[in-house]
Amino acid sequence: MKELILPKENNNESIEATQSILFVGANGSGKTRLGTWIEINSPQKHLVHRISAQKSLSLPDSTTPQSIEQAEKDLLFGNPGWTYQNKASKWQNKPATAFLNDYQKLMVYLFSDETEENAKFKRACKESEERVAPPITKIDRVKELWETILPHRELVIGGLRIQTRVRGLEDKIYNSSEMSDGERVIFYLIGQCLAAPKDGIIVIDEPELHLHKSVQAPLWDAVEKLRDDCLFVYLTHDVDFAAAKETAKRVWLKSFDGQKWEWEQIEDDENLPDDLLIEVLGSRKPVVFVEGENGSFDVSLYRELLSDFLVIPRGSCTQVIQSVKALKANPQIHHLDVYGLIDRDRRVHAEITKLEQDSIYVLSVAEVENLFCAREVLAIVSNRLARDPASDFDAVSNTVFGRLQGELDHQVSLRVSSEVKFQLNMFDASQTGAQNINNALQALVSSIDVNQIYADTDSLYRNVLNTKDYEQLLALYNRKSLSSQVSNSLGLANGSLPETIVRLVRGDSKEEIKNALKPYFGNFQQHMA
């Protein structure tokens, strides 16, 4: 078990971990500042090697070795004559913000180690009559791991320079300065970690920087195995990376006032996925869960209209409801403002009222996609296209009323079924004994008049059709493809209306569209700016 000493209030406090500790927190929570405190001010500072996010990736084509002692001090402390007590000078006395250009020093260190180990090997061969195994140097270890992470590439180490080639293609060779950022940063990170003191503490600020998602976790898992004597401290706001480090001890940096940090260890919550919990902890914004998936036009619309919130899509309405309740029940984050926003679907007033008690709000339209068909938004689109808004709305209206008329029985049946399901959910589960349970069920079933519900629902829909109540149609009509189907009515390509509106809301029409749609957010609009 390894130990990390951290500042807390007026005292220091220790955290124990088997291999790694991961810090997450919102921007401004003091992650980088904490990293510099660990390096410069911690009682463990003599053990610490910090890899900054602010670094040059300019890799020299060749280098010249020097004594390993001088090369090591130059890399770790910034000067061949300095020690860990001079670390602040390595960063020009600005350890949190200074831009470090030490790739050359890393190369000198690695080739100096290579030279030193080869000299020892030569002496051992001369002094021994038996065969002496050649040493595995630090640059050998860099090469091995680098090629494991990038199997399509090969490092060619010769003399005092490093080249790269496509594996299997002898003539496809290029100098180290021509490597991609990803290739260079992988080399840099491995080399820096190998340079850390024995049984040391390696602090990495933004460990995901310049790395493709696919290599982040494999790289750091492999480096940790390579330096299993060290404690790894990751400072990140990348949700995917944080979630992937499943075995790391996780710490939430809640705040930093310029002098001290407020932090606490993150406890596992079986009701919340790790990535969701980390994403919430890493944001300063109130959270709103919505239906849908990342990349969809409706989620894009939500994020533009609700830019003051952390909008997290959760797929279905059930997942939205569960996520809101789980976060509110989590003792670590119960103080955060958390909301849910779901489609109206076929919910009755009683259900909507009950949901709002749990901060879950319901749109005034049947589907979020119906927002793209709001009369006010259609007028904005029509005006931007230099068309006649009145004529365009008539065309859209005729289309959607015609479609509802064509599937009236289907829509009515779905709503009736939903109402029956809701009433069945009112079953009194407190009954005990077979007979009592059966009696309660029969009483509930007999109280549900399907014929009357159907007649009332059919009347509701027919009234909408007869009165041409467009707003009420959007509240009742469950058809996700509706917005795409009316695109042609505005002279747009088939299915392109949602894309057009998202593009407009990302431009100078944002406030206009936001004001137009705000009334459709039901009681949630009280939380909107």
Strand order in the sheet with 153-158: 153-158, 161-166, 173-175
Report which secondary-structure segment, H or E, holds 11: strand 11-17
- Cβ-contact 4, 17 below 8 angstroms: yes
C-alpha distances (whole Å) from 218 to each of 147, 186, 224, 279, 453 are 12, 11, 10, 21, 58
Q: Would you give the end-to-end CA distance of the chain in angstroms? A: 49
Sign of CA dihedral 59, 60, 63, 69: negative
Percent of the chain with pLDDT over 90: 64
**Strand residues in 349-425 grouped as ranges (E):** 360-362
**φ, ψ dihedrals at 202, nearest 5°:** -105, 115
Q: Which of 338, 271, 334, 331 is nearest to 311 (CA)?
A: 338
Tell me the whole-structure pTM to 2 decimals: 0.80
Q: Which domains does the chain have, with CATH numbers?
A: 2-265 (3.40.50), 285-527 (no CATH)
pLDDT tens sequence across 83-107:
888 888 999 899 888 999 999 999 9
pLDDT tens sequence across 320-338:
999 999 888 888 777 789 9
**Strand residues in 18-130 grouped as ranges (E):** 20-24, 48-51
- Scan for tokens 């606490």, then name that residue: 264
When pLDDT is cut at 50, 70 and 90, the band that residue 239 belongs to is confident
Is the per-residue pLDDT at 266 higher than 90? no
pLDDT tens sequence across 195-230:
999 999 999 999 999 999 999 999 999 999 999 999
Which pLDDT score, from 0 to 100, does residue 287 have? 93
When pLDDT is cut at 50, 70 and 90, the band that residue 289 belongs to is very high
Sign of CA dihedral 40, 46, 47, 51: positive
**Amino acid letter for position 79:** N
- Cβ-contact 415, 346 below 8 angstroms: yes
Is the per-residue pLDDT at 521 higher than 90? yes
Q: Are strands 11-17 and 2-8 parallel, antiparallel or unpaired?
A: antiparallel
Give the whole-angstrom CA distance, residue 450 versus residue 455. 8
Which pLDDT score, from 0 to 100, does residue 160 have? 80
When pLDDT is cut at 50, 70 and 90, the band that residue 349 belongs to is confident
Give the whole-angstrom CA distance, residue 138 versus residue 100. 22
- Cβ neighbourhood burial of 210 (10 Å; 0-12, 13-18, 19+): middle
* Non-local CB neighbours of 451 within 8 Å, separated by 6+ positions: none
Which pLDDT score, from 0 to 100, does residue 159 have? 74
| The two structure tokens encoding residue 299 | 């989620």
Give the whole-angstrom CA distance, residue 325 versus residue 284. 19
pLDDT tens sequence across 477-514:
998 888 888 999 999 998 899 999 999 999 999 999 99
Give the whole-angstrom CA distance, residue 21 versus residue 16. 9
| Bridge partner list, 255 | 262
| The two structure tokens encoding residue 399 | 């289309």
Give the whole-angstrom CA distance, residue 321 versus residue 339. 9
Which pLDDT score, from 0 to 100, does residue 176 have? 77
Which pLDDT score, from 0 to 100, does residue 375 have? 95
| The two structure tokens encoding residue 522 | 């039901």
| The two structure tokens encoding residue 454 | 């159907």
In residues, how long is the chain?
529
* Non-local CB neighbours of 516 within 8 Å, separated by 6+ positions: 374, 376, 377, 380
